Amino acid sequence: MNINSIKNSVLSFFQHKLPKFFSNSFKVTSSKTSKIIGAVIFAVTLISVIVCVNSFISAETSSRWLLLAIALAFPFVLGGSAAFTVRLKSERLDKIWHFVFIFILPLISVTITECLNGIFIYDMTYLGFFANYLVFLVFYFIFFALTGSFRVSYIVITTLFFGLAVAHAYLMEFRGTPFLPMDFLSITTAMGVANTYNFMPNYKIVLAALMFIFVIIISIKTKTPKYNLATKIVSRTFTATFSIVLLLLFFGTSIFADMGIKPDFWNQTRGYKNYGFAFNFFCNTKYLYMSEPTDYNPDKIKDYVDGVIDKNETIIDNSYEKPNIICIMNESLSDLGVLGKLETNEDYMPFMRSLTENTVRGNLYVPVIGAGTSNTEFEFLTGHTTAFLPSGSNAYMLYIKDAQASLVSTVEAQGYTSYALHPYYAMGWKRTEVYNNFGFNDFISLEDIIDISLMDEYQDKGNDANYLNQLVNERYPGKNMLIRQYISDAYNYKLLIEDFEKRDKSKPYFAFNVTMQNHGGYTTSCENFNESIYATSTSKAYNKTNKYLSLVKESDNAFKDLISYFSKVKEPTVICMFGDHQPSVESDFIAEILGVSNLSDLTPEQEQARHLTPFFIWANYDIEEKQIDKLSSNYLSSLVLQTAGVKLTEYNRYLLELSKTLPVIDTVGYIDNNGTYYKWSDASPYTHLLDDYERVQYNSIFDRKNVNSDIFFIDGYQLIPNSLQEKAVGE
């Protein structure tokens, strides 16, 4: 065959055979309305891509120009898909095609969600891809079995997972941790701080949104063929049976878990990256329920505690003057230098580093990174660890439903008054309900500090921090209440001092304060914030990190003033201050300072370093100075009580003794007194201690009928929750 013959054959194929094949096989229809809709979709999506073009150009990926070209081509595809409808002329083939497409669509859905997860399907392992594919297939099958409609199945499931994946993408951007099922319970808290973040879509969100729109257009145009009764029964029975069997095997047995198909509990971020969003999110739903520990027996709880407590320990004499106790959990306070070498233009926490006299200080291992403040708070106040709770759960939102023993009940049993201060919305993490169940006498929140209508006006005007500062200064001249859009540590401590000065002096004083100044959202500058600190040892400027370090400097200054005030107070006073978690700054900065290329592949030591914050226990009288290199937040309140010299519960004594063997127990794993790091999956000689600790904790939180009160309360103290007033935003 010569070249001309080949040329003529090719031309004949494209000019005659191919058009004839399409004309005989497919029917293309449109209407004036569909063409208008198509034109509108084309224009809107093209403009949206152009508006977001910088996110493609600045993307740190070698494929950015290819991705931009794909994004620019998509509006033409979307416009054409909306304007024209293509159907198979053969009714039989059309019926077959609809069944085939339900197996194809999960491929597209996985591509969409993994685009939002920051990876593409060609980066996934075979197991990860198959697991995500199967999750989508099961959900499409379930809705088809229930409705008999392909259209409804496609629209509902695709929209559901797209929405979840978008939430995951933003949470990874804002707090550096993935979206877990338990996060639904903190929606109101998240909404309270949402105005502090930048929601401008990045290139991943743009691409995923374009693919999502394409699927929705196709889904809307999908019409379920008229199958005969037998086909309907068989198809819906098969999809329902297939889905039910898989779900029963997954939730009712350990078959999949034994195969390794389970969340990466010790590093959820790594799990989401390695095995996909849909799979990991779905897998985490299996572990929402708090199950009873193995071999749990409430009659043995005292034996577990007595088996650890030092019988030769001297019991505290409760007859002398009790010191005032002030505990401060400082929002996002940390020393990022614990991650690796970090040099700055000047020290960002000089006072805290210098604080040694009459001070117990050290490194605190907390359960969360970047967010989840209340879990650290829960550990501190109760002495319990979130490591024994379902992965991703939040204790405040789920488990504190009635009177609960805590640091508050321990000091109140000894005659203390109790005061809680948090200069933000009271509804966050259900604090009003939780503080009521802990027995706090009083709770002061943002609603008590400023006119909340100012916050409403600020949000209505576009969340401009400078505008809020103007409003607050006009209403409260000379008070200098804010740094950025939050109550500053300096003003927070002023409120704390004011309450201290008006206290009932016939009783010792206890205060618990959760600050707000350093909360995430390190993207915008503000006239009331002096950004004076910046890193000098990094390869490039990290704006979020530099803003954060400048905030830490402001916290350092404020804490210095607080200590200066109480150093002049004659009554003995103990102040504990600690950070709740490290901030959510640039992941590239974290990777650089840790000396790694990927945050999903950290050693246990590096993972634990990301959970480190400082703690200080200072007294205005002579106490023994100590440096404690490793301590987790579940032990800290017991250490505070011991340092203050007040009476301890048996649970406090149990925890202090346990900390001598296992000074760190957190969500990453645990560290023993020899400095050996363990993941929760590791075999270790401490399994029996951890199992007993879990049983003791379960008795306190969950087994309310059989709780051993003598362990958790002092001298038969009966905790009666107070009636703290619920404060509604905007009232």
Residue 190 pLDDT greater than 90, yes or no: no
Residue 193 pLDDT greater than 60, yes or no: no
Angle between helices 203-221 and 150-174 (to 10 degrees): 170
Look at residues 541, 523, 441 and name the one whose alpha carbon lies nearest to residue 193.
Answer: 523
Among 102-111, 118-127, 329-338, 544-553, which is the least confidently predicted range? Answer: 118-127
pLDDT tens figures, 77-123: 888 888 887 776 677 877 787 788 889 889 988 888 888 887 777 67
Q: Which residue has the higher pLDDT, 487 or 28?
A: 487
CA distances from 625 to 156, 351, 356, 359 (A): 61, 16, 7, 5
Contact 459, 195 (CB under 8 A): yes
Entry pTM: 0.74
With bands split at pLDDT 50, 70 and 90, how would you rate the model's confidence at 24? Answer: low
Distance separating alpha carbons of residues 477 and 702, to the nearest angstrom: 49
Q: What is the per-residue pLDDT for 532? A: 93
Among 240-249, 311-320, 345-354, which is the least confidently predicted range? Answer: 311-320
Q: What is the per-residue pLDDT for 731? A: 35
How many other C-beta atoms are found inside a 10 Å radius of the C-beta of residue 313?
11
CA distances from 183 to 118, 318, 398 (A): 20, 43, 11
What stretch of H or E contains 577?
A: strand 573-579
pLDDT tens figures, 202-219: 888 888 889 999 889 988
The predicted model gives 348-368 an average pLDDT of 96
pLDDT tens figures, 521-534: 898 789 999 899 99
Distance separating alpha carbons of residues 553 and 421, to the nearest angstrom: 22
pLDDT tens figures, 588-615: 999 999 999 888 788 989 999 999 999 9
With bands split at pLDDT 50, 70 and 90, how would you rate the model's confidence at 728? Answer: very low
Q: What is the per-residue pLDDT for 118? A: 79
In the chain, pLDDT over 90 holds for what percent of residues? 47
Task: Write down the architecture of domain 298-712 according to CATH.
Answer: 3-Layer(aba) Sandwich (3.40)
Residues 6 or more apart whose Cβ sits within 8 Å of residue 368: 177, 375, 376, 580, 581, 611, 667
Q: Per-domain residue ranges for the chain?
A: 90-287, 298-712
Contact 144, 236 (CB under 8 A): yes
Place of tokens 């309450």: 499
Residue 464 pLDDT greater than 50, yes or no: yes
Q: What is the per-residue pLDDT for 224? A: 79
Give the mean pLDDT of the chain.
Answer: 86
Backbone phi, psi, residue 13, to 5°: -65, -50
In the chain, pLDDT over 70 holds for what percent of residues? 88
Contact 264, 270 (CB under 8 A): yes
The predicted model gives 344-349 an average pLDDT of 96
pLDDT tens figures, 681-695: 888 999 999 999 999
Residue 621 pLDDT greater than 70, yes or no: yes
pLDDT tens figures, 416-460: 999 999 999 888 888 888 899 999 999 999 999 999 889 888 888
Q: What is the per-residue pLDDT for 590? A: 93
